[in-house]
Each structure stands twice: as structure tokens, then as C-alpha cells.
Amino acid sequence: MPLNQYVTLGRSGLRVSPFCLGAMTFGEDLGWGSSVEASQAILDRYLALGGNFIDTANVYTRGHSEKIIGDHIGRHPARRERVVIATKFFGNLFPQDPNGGGAGARSLIAATHESLRRLRTDYIDLLWMHAWDRHTPIEETMRALDDLVRAGKVRYLGFSDTPAWKVAQAQTMAHLRGWAPLVALQIEYSLLERTVEGELIPMARELGLGVTPWSPLKSGALSGKYTRENAGKVKADRGAWVESNLNERTYSVIDVLQRVAREQGTTPAHVALAWVQGRPGVSSTIIGARTLEQLESNVGALEVKLTADQIAALEAVSQPSLNFPAGFLQGAPTFMHGGLTVNGVTAPPLPWAPKSDAERY
């Protein structure tokens, strides 16, 4: 599946590449990341490979990420029209201004205008709320977002890093009031972060939100660079972001990743990316790249086709502990249709179920 095998994002007609290019590393303003020239080269190569989906945020490298994209793509109308640009509001670039961040109407409208200026475009294809603002009523946020869509400044809406119950409230409100609905959900998802399968993934599938996972390699912990054999000997590129995840559970997952990679004749990173992209509900996985080599390598994961046995092995070793009631409800089919199969779900018999009609009261 190359980058130009497009998918529609959630319950929308927006066509996007199966891998989205994450631009958090564009710019060296924070002491790491890609130079302007390297970022432009990565953009060019991604587009040349058929990619069309770019994800950034107003706060990435203090706005420089957006400016790099705007200078290289936004100011060229022909190039701009073939690219789906997604950015986020919420982050505060004005630390002395309490209204400089969050999801209040004043803040998000101002942030959107700033993003439009940096991106050098008249519209944003997909505008994300970067995180849940517990201080702002969700109806205020959704109404302001609808106003931006009606004004033609934004085409589609999505939420990132927000509890499932709040996303569901916002989506239901939008439908009932005739406001622009959400079409996508951006959340962390990887073999090392599967707790989203308890509430967020089922909610997204039910409400028509295409899932765009971030950190599918868990900040590089699943890149293949770190193994049980070299534990403590390899310096992590991203420091504590990676090192905090290098534990026995992670090495158990990496052991299986390495085995599957050998069977596939590929790399552990490719296997980890292929697993995420193949999960139910996932539309487009966000991949980051600081170099052209990293981009080329990550895109290669689209060619990996995992077998049922390989998927089962990866899921068994990475099985998450889910919050109540998600874990409890895994046993519900036994109460509901024990001994039978419904929609492909087979449940063991309920031990204390009546053996005949005569045993029922």
C-alpha cells in the first residue's frame, strides 16, 4: 500500500494518505529537529511519493513548523491545492495572556488566524483541538469551530488527546444542533500504548471519527534501535521520552517484534507501524522524520502484510489492562449468548445457565 492508496478520513469525503507526515520536528528552534532545508526536502519527498496529508500545530517549534510549511507549500497555489494541511489550536504562544491558549472562542479564533498567516493559506483543511480544555464549555468550542467552517476558514474538524466521554458529548451536540461535526480523532496508539482500545477507539468507530495515531513507535522505543541485548548501552535520542519506556514489558514486545521482522524480512519499526495502521478504526498513522532516510524507511512499512499468526503474537505480548468497564465487558458475551456465535464472536457456555426450558423459573 503506497502513500497514494488514499483512504477517506472518518465519516467524511476527505481523501488522505495512509501515513500522515508529522511536522513536529520541523525547525531547530528548540535545540533539536530538522533544519529548514531538511524539512523542505522531507516535504518534497513525501509529496513525490504520493503523500498528501501533513500534520502540524501552532506551538510546534514556536510556530516555525507552520511557517516552514507555509513558505514551502502555502505560497504556491498549485502545490497548496493538492495537500491536506492539518494544524492544531490550544497551545499558548503568549505566556502572559490567559486567553492566549485553550479552547475558548476568543483563543481558538485568534490562534486559527495566526495559523492561517503562518501557513500562508486562506483555509485549513483539518483543524484539531490539541487537548481538552476543562475550563471552557464544550458548546462554546463547538460553536466557534462551526463559525470557522461556515466562514470558509476551516474545512474539517477533529479532536486530539481528549477523553472519550467529552468527544462523544461534543459530537452528539454538533449533530443535534446542525453544527459541523468532528471527522477525526488523534490519539497516542502503539504496541506499548493500547489502553485507548477501552473507550477511545470504540467511541471513534461508533461516531464516525477516523483515528490518526501519534507516536506509533512510542518515541522510538519500538524503532529496533533498543533491544534486550544492548539494554543500557545505547543512548536514547529523545532521552527520558524513550528511557522511561525501556523496561521488561517493552523488551518482551521488542522480542516478538524482532522475530516477526525476521519472518517478514523487514525491520521491527516496519512491523510496529504496520500493526498500528492495520488496527480497526485507524485511517492514517502519523509518522515523524528528521531526515530523508527516516522518511523513506518509515514509508516502507506500508508494504508489510502481517499474517494472522503474527498479529496474534504481537497482540498477546502487548495485551493492555483496560479500565472498568472495558475489561469486564470482554466477558459479557458469555452472559449474553454463551455457547453461541454472534457476528463472529464466539462465547463459552455460561456455567450456571439452564440446561433445558424446564429448569427455568
Would you please indicate which residues are annotated as catalytic (active-site) residues?
60
For the chain, the distance separating the N- and C-terminal CA atoms, rounded to the nearest angstrom, is: 57
How far does CA 159 lie from the centroid of its chain?
10
Q: Please say whether the beta carbons of 71 and 104 come within 8 A.
A: no
C-alpha distances out from residue 207 to 120, 160, 191, 211, 231, Å: 33, 15, 24, 11, 42
DSSP per-residue codes, 152-202: TSEEEEEEES--HHHHHHHHHHHHHHTPPPEEEEEEE-BTTB-GGGTTHHH
- The 10 Å Cβ neighbour count of residue 71 is 16
Q: Which residues pair with 112 in a beta bridge?
A: none
Q: Which triple of cell numbers denotes residue 300?
A: 516502507
Closest Cα to residue 189, out of 277, 258, 255, 87?
277
Q: How far apart are CA 106 and CA 144, in angstroms?
A: 9
Classify the C-alpha dihedral 80-6-36-69 as positive or negative.
positive
Phi, psi of 219 (to 5 degrees): 60, 25
